[in-house]
């Protein structure tokens, strides 16, 4: 086996420098729950592991009513799950993050790693998309923001340019009378990869009757997660009655272009994209009315 | 270029310095360098929990931690549960309730259950099952393990009253 170098830089700039100096041969590690498995299986050829957990910028976790949520890319899922201010305001994100793996994996895995791994079945990406998250990235050319909806560009591929690393997510504060929810389908109770997933974020009018804004995203049904704009449009202006929900479900079925594999057929995934779209909206609606 | 990292960690209360190849997992460092063979290698992919240890107060799969990461860390393994010849209430309960057969998964279950009881002295059946979902047992089945954890929790609560 080839020798491996290991570094644990304590500043963001040192990490960026190290990463660039290693060209494509370095692996960025937060929790390592994907990276170490990929290195062992030979899927990732890594000559240098850069541990990002000691960098303060990647451990940020704060909530402000005006500016919203800041979530460092290396914050572990269990830390996010225990962060009370985020629980109701970003329910879909917490739900997704808490579905990733066992207690042991929750201690290590991060939302940042989940999306950088680039899987269209990642449990946090649909929620980040519907919540309007921005991904703050930094590289040798400086800092920029990538909307979560554009972050994944193909299976295992992200919009990060050479030498760039994900620093944090910024998610705007939720509007009044809004709520979100995330659901995935797996053939068992826990500890699996989504066959299909859906997240919804809705805002109601002050009297709670009409939908004034809506966003729906579906996962594991295309090479990347999909923001289904037609589903959101189908909901806005409606009372979120059965007809509106069915129109949104139809939009998700139309947007889905899944493959058939051992976890589900094309037809099944397409059907389930509609089912989960409806249920995620219903979940968000119940929360928005209860709040 | 260095392919080895020297780390110092407190393992079961003992400060231990280890020179580890950078590819080495914490699991291999514990077993091969520190001589603590309680944590077991099962799947090497974070699915089975046989290698569970408590790292800085959090339950982790030691196969998914690099030894190079743990400089300055505090680590608890199954070897740290018993106090001399006195077994930990969890260990006693696993024996009394026959919560093991082949024993390969047992160290992982014990450490995972300890991490649970450290933060929740009175977990419900549901909480125990969810907490232990990352530990697989292929022979005993989970009911006896559940009973053992509940009985150990009751004993621990009684002894701290």
pTM, entire model: 0.96
Q: Residue A103's pLDDT is what?
A: 98
Would you place residue B1 in the very low, low, confident or very high pLDDT band (cuts 50, 70, 90)?
low
Tokens 């007809």 belong to which residue? A243
Domains of chain B (ranges, CATH numbers): 4-80 (3.10.20.30), 89-159 (1.10.150.120)
CA distance A151 to chain B (A): 26
Report the residue of chain A nearest B54, measured CA to CA: A104
Which chain A positions have a beta carbon within 8 Å of B132's beta carbon?
A: 103
Average pLDDT, chain A: 96
Instruction: Give how far Cα A55 sits from Cα of A64, A215, B70, B156, Å.
Output: 22, 33, 15, 39
Is residue B59 less than 8 Å (CB to CB) from chain A?
yes
Q: Mean pLDDT over residues A243-248, rounded? A: 98
Burial B90-123 (b: 16+ CB within 10 A, else e): bbbbbeebebbeeebbbbbbbbbbbbbbeeeeeb
Mean pLDDT, rounded, for A25-29: 94
For chain B, the straight-line distance linking the first and the last C-alpha, in angstroms and rounded, comes to: 55
Q: How many other C-beta atoms lie within 10 A of the C-beta of residue A141?
A: 10
As a whole number of angstroms, the distance between CA A247 and CA A156 comes to 31
Residue from the list A37, A107, A191 with its beta carbon closest to the beta carbon of B133: A191
Inter-chain contacts counted by CB atoms under 8 A, chains A and B:
88
Question: Which residues, at least 6 apart from B124, have a Cβ–Cβ distance to it below 8 Å?
Answer: none
For residues B105 and B136, is the Cβ–Cβ distance under 8 A? Answer: yes
List chain B residues with CB under 8 Å of A191: 47, 133-134
CATH architecture of structural domain A178-290: 2-Layer Sandwich (3.30)
pLDDT digits 0-9 by tens, A159-179: 999 999 999 999 999 999 999
- Interchain contact B69–A (C-beta under 8 A): yes
Cα-based distances in Å from A205 to A110, A173, A177, A232? 35, 17, 7, 15
Name the pLDDT band for A45 (thresholds 50, 70, 90): confident
For residue B2, the model assigns a pLDDT of 79
Cross-chain CB nearest to B3 (options A3, A36, A53): A3
The DSSP line for A23-63 is TT-EEEESS-TTHHHHHHHTSS--SEEEE-TT-GGGG-EEE
Architecture of the domain made up of A5-51: 2-Layer Sandwich (3.30)
**Cβ within 8 Å, pair A105-B46:** yes
Minimal Cα–Cα distance from A30 to chain B, Å?
A: 10
CATH architecture of A56-171: 2-Layer Sandwich (3.30)
Domain residue ranges in chain A: 5-51, 56-171, 178-290
Question: Using the beta-carbon criterion (under 8 Å), do A103 and B2 form an inter-chain contact?
Answer: no
Cβ contacts of A53 on chain B, cutoff 8 Å: 69
Q: How far is B34 from chain A, CA to nearest CA, in Å?
A: 20
What pLDDT is attached to residue A251? 98
Contact A33 B112 (CB under 8 A): no
Question: Percent of chain B scored above 70 by pLDDT?
Answer: 99
């Amino acid at each position: 086996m080839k020798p491996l170098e290991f570094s644990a830089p304590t500043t963001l700039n040192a990490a960026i420098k190290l990463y660039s100096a290693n060209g494509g041969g370095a692996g960025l590690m937060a929790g390592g729950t994907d990276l170490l498995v990929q290195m062992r299986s030979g899927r990732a050829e890594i000559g240098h592991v850069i541990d990002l957990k000691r960098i303060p910028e990647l451990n940020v976790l704060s909530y402000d009513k005006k500016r919203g949520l800041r979530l460092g890319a290396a914050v572990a899922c269990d830390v996010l799950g225990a962060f009370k201010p985020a629980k109701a305001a970003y329910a879909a994100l917490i739900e997704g993050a808490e579905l990733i793996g066992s207690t042991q994996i929750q201690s290590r895995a991060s939302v940042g790693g989940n999306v950088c791994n680039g899987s269209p079945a990642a449990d946090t990406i649909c929620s980040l998309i519907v919540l309007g998250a921005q991904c703050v990235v930094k590289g040798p050319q400086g800092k920029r923001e990538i909307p979560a909806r554009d972050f994944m560009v193909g299976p295992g591929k992200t919009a990060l340019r050479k030498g760039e690393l994900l620093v944090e997510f910024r998610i705007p504060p939720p509007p009044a009378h809004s709520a979100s929810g995330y659901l995935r389908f797996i053939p068992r109770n826990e500890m699996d990869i989504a066959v299909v997933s859906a997240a919804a974020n809705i805002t109601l009018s002050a009297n709670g009757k009409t939908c004034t804004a809506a966003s729906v995203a579906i996962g594991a049904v295309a090479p990347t997660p999909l923001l289904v704009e037609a589903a959101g449009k189908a909901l806005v202006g409606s009372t979120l009655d059965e007809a509106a929900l069915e129109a949104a479900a139809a939009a998700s079925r139309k947007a889905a272009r899944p493959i058939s594999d051992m976890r589900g057929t094309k037809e099944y995934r397409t059907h389930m994209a509609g089912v989960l779209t409806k249920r995620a909206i219903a979940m968000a609606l119940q929360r928005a009315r209860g709040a | 270029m260095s392919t080895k990292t020297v780390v110092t960690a407190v393992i079961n209360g003992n400060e231990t310095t280890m020179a580890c190849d950078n590819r080495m997992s914490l699991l291999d460092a514990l077993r091969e360098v520190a001589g603590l063979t309680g944590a077991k290698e099962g799947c090497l992919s974070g699915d089975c929990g046989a290698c569970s240890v408590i790292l800085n107060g959090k339950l982790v799969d030691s196969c998914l931690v690099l030894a190079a990461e743990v400089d300055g860390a505090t680590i608890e393994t199954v070897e740290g549960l018993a106090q001399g010849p006195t077994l930990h209430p969890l260990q006693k309960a696993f024996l009394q309730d026959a919560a093991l057969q082949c024993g390969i998964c047992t160290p992982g279950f014990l450490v995972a259950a300890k991490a649970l009881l450290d933060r929740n002295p009175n977990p419900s059946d549901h909480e125990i099952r969810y907490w232990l979902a990352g530990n697989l047992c292929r022979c005993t089945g989970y009911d006896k393990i559940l009973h053992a954890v509940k009985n150990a929790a009751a004993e621990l609560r009684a002894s701290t009253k």
